[in-house]
Structure 1
Amino acid sequence: MPYEPPTHRVERSLRATTGAKIVAGVDEVGRGAWAGPVTVCAAITGLRRPPEGLTDSKLIPPPRRAELAEELNGWVTAHALGHASPEEIDDLGMTASLRLAAVRALEGLPVRPDAVILDGKHDYLGGPWRVRTVIKGDQSCVAVAAASVIAKVRRDAMMAELPEEYADFAFHDNAGYPSPVHRAALEERGPTPYHRLSWSYMDALTRWKHLKRTRNEPTEQIELF
């Protein structure tokens, strides 16, 4: 399906209305996974013309996505990644874990942004950052689209590199997200050290649901199949 390429419209607006000279795009991947970290990328792109085909990482075929991530590594002005582990997600809940990962990414940049464009409608980052939320920002904003691609490719690679003893979970294919193979392995072997034990999928694992962790924040409701 044809799509409009992302632009610098929001970045230009922030410069004009707030005086921000350095604007970072921020996007996450891994929010809905059963296993693995939630990963956030912060990217600073300036106002240069982006590489051809840049858009939301989910709309890009995997081979091209990997190629584009390589191009972006050399094209962006700066970028940094932040992660929150499954243990942190279980302890803190998803909203706080997203903020933790985002702060780690932003603090990993060589310069502090004057403003942040955050994909989505909810500001999970908050102060002291100056935040502009943009629904589908990973499709409409160059910096957010760049962050989307870099975060997706890096997290997928991290999941594919997990130990061979967990090969039957097919992390190299599903990146820790729900899938029939993933579910079958969970039912047979139970959760690995990389799984989020507070997630609602644990309720369906009769043999293993005694391992489920509880926390104060309501469990993410993710349908099995």
Structure 2
Amino acid sequence: MDIIEQEQVLIDQGILYCGVDEAGAGPLCGDVVAAAVILDPDNPIEGLNDSKKLSEKKREKLFPVIKHKALAYCIARCTPAEIDEINILNARMLAMSRAIEGLNTSVGHALIDGNRLPKELACPGTAIVKGDALVASISAASVLAKVSRDHDMVELDAKYPKYGLAKHKGYPTKAHLAALQEYGPTDIYRKTYGPVKKLLEVKAAI
């Protein structure tokens, strides 16, 4: 993965920077998960890419490698209750801010996937559209966020086996919506999301 212009400026100025991404905006349940990663330029990681372009097997293989080789990383979350309170956009931004703040070292800049920055960052930042496919540290963050969230859903599946969470990871598949209709939402669900909100309204009207 080539170094892009924004990275080169930071490197030329000797500024320590992290890559940041999040996962889990679309699912009906569970946390939204973000990660911030500072890579070691002297210890590159082969095979990094946007987590959505990698197979689950490849993501799982990269997950411990990134954690081992990175100079620093942090994985942070926003809960379903927080998502319902501040909406998913703000929850995504907050989770990313938490990931940056949780790094065990101070960074001078954050390269963030997407087209907007969190309002309150612990350092200056740059939003990079499709950054998870352009910047190695953002790619690494996307893998940590995605795999961490998938692991969360497997754990929740053990607690709530009727919903099939380990398979669809909380996304509104036909099977998930059918299970939700049959069993109703639990406290892990995002109550402001359309299908969940509709079920709760019907239940309240009965």
2:2 corresponds to: 7
| Aligned counterparts of 1:165 and 1:73: Cα–Cα separation in 2 | 27
Aligned counterparts, 1:45-64, within 5 A: 45-48=39-42, 50-64=44-58
| Aligned counterparts of 2:43 and 2:124: Cα–Cα separation in 1 | 25
Aligned partner of residue 171 in structure 2, secondary structure: coil
Aligned counterpart for 2:195 among listed residues 192, 198, 201? 201
User: 1:80 and 1:165, CA in 2 relative to 1: closer, same or farther beyond 3 A?
Assistant: closer
Q: Percent identity?
A: 32
- Contact kept, 8 Å, 2:97 with 2:122, in 1: the verdict is no
Aligned counterpart for 2:113 among listed residues 112, 119, 127? 119
| Aligned counterparts of 1:146 and 1:125: Cα–Cα separation in 2 | 23
Unpaired runs of 5+ residues, structure 1, are 1-5, 213-225
Matched, 1:179 2:162: no
Normalised to the residue count of structure 1, the TM-score between the two structures is 0.83
When the two chains are superposed, the root-mean-square deviation of aligned CA atoms in Å is 1.9
| Aligned counterparts of 1:195 and 1:74: Cα–Cα separation in 2 | 33
Aligned partner of residue 161 in structure 1, secondary structure: helix
User: 1:195 and 1:151, CA in 2 relative to 1: closer, same or farther beyond 3 A?
Assistant: same
Unpaired runs of 5+ residues, structure 2, are none
Matched, 1:167 2:144: no
Greater helix percent: which structure?
A: 2
- Contact kept, 8 Å, 2:51 with 2:139, in 1: the verdict is yes
1:100 corresponds to: 94
- Contact kept, 8 Å, 1:8 with 1:47, in 2: the verdict is no
Count residues with an aligned counterpart: 203
Aligned partner of residue 186 in structure 1, secondary structure: helix
Normalised to the residue count of structure 2, the TM-score between the two structures is 0.90
1:70 corresponds to: 64
1:215 corresponds to: none
2:137 corresponds to: 143
Give 1:209's aligned amino acid: E
| Aligned counterparts of 2:181 and 2:195: Cα–Cα separation in 1 | 11
Please state how far the C-alpha of 1:101 moved relative to its aligned partner.
1.2
